[in-house]
Amino acid sequence: MASHARSQCQNGWVSEELADRYELVAVVGRGSMGEVWKARDRVLQRDVAVKVVSGAKQQDPVALKRFQREAIAMANLFHPNVVSVYDVGSDSGRSFMVMELLTGPSVARSLADNGPMRLDKAVRMGADVARGLSAAHAIGVTHRDIKPGNVLEHHKVTKIVDFGIARLEASNQATLTSPAMAIGTAAYMSPEQARGKAVQPPSDVYSLASLMFAMLTGKPPFVNADPIEVARAHAMDQPPLVTSARPEVPQELADLLARMLVKRPEERPTGPQVAMELSRIESSLLGLEDPMSPYSPLAPAPEEQIPTRRRARTAPTPPEPPARPDPAQGVPRSQVTPVQPPEKKRRLWHRTR
């Protein structure tokens, strides 16, 4: 087991190291599992984010199992819209996970500081989240906690973080929650989550619709001081139309969110379908071509064709004269076509003085 050490920084502050490699610099976030630190990787000489499980959770076997599952879920996801995991380990009884350091604000911070987003930005970020979720669903991972605090913008790229309560569909994974336990954030949970039922990828689609509702209007579909009442509304009540709170939302976007917010999971569009429709809506908002059109600037570039070497031009070969039949072989002379000699060109002599 690696040693737990402290080192002296240049400014005199005593920093903390994990695994003799990661120098913890400053806390950048806190959650139910522990703290997220900005750290310095001394081996690769780069800044990273380190999620450290708190002391109380270290004694909770269920919490440690969830932390392990989060590491497994994120380590197997290689997608630009999902935060990257670099390393997982334990030092002096403290479990930690090393991740990509994100610089941009979360959607929660952006909404708190600036209010509802521009239409094109909300649609673009929603499409990015749909692509990241589609990649997770393709390997059997359901996030189960899509909300403003778990979506960040990093250099204009949307990133999904915190797979701490993600559900893995592998057959050898035991369930950590009872069937009647609702897990997730009440304001963005799906009806099946609110009822404590098992969730599948359509649950993430519902949560994404609730997230986009908040990005467009500044608040989720159902708002109440009591989380239990909010969960009940998700399970029983008809969600409001986004155009009732923001009339300038395009009708096709309002219709898509309404289909994503239906109560029956099997009637919702899939993650790839949502990503495709949002891409079309974004193109329409920006005045671009349909992204699926071959003439669109968003369409994938055609395969590069290998140029062929052009042959040098040569003079055309004159046709060969027809063969003259041999009368000795029994061909009548009357059938023999005489070959005309080529016509001689007459030279014109110019008188010179």
Active site (catalytic) residues? 145
Cα-based distances in Å from 166 to 59, 130, 190, 263, 313? 21, 16, 14, 21, 67
Q: What are phi and psi for residue 90, nearest 5 degrees?
A: -145, 140
Q: From the CB of residue 148, how many other CB atoms can be counted at a distance below 10 Å? A: 21
- Quote the CA–CA distance of 210 and 233 in Å, as a whole number: 13
- Quote the CA–CA distance of 218 and 213 in Å, as a whole number: 8
Secondary structure letter of residue 2 according to DSSP: B
Cβ–Cβ < 8 Å for 49, 75: no
Count the helix, strand and coil residues of the chain and give each as a percent rounded to the nearest 5. 35, 20, 50
Helix count (H) and strand count (E) of the chain? 10, 11
Amino acid at 343: E
User: What would the DSSP string read from start to end of 230-270?
Assistant: HHHHHHHSPPPPHHHH-TTS-HHHHHHHHHHT-SSGGGSPP
Cβ–Cβ < 8 Å for 119, 285: yes
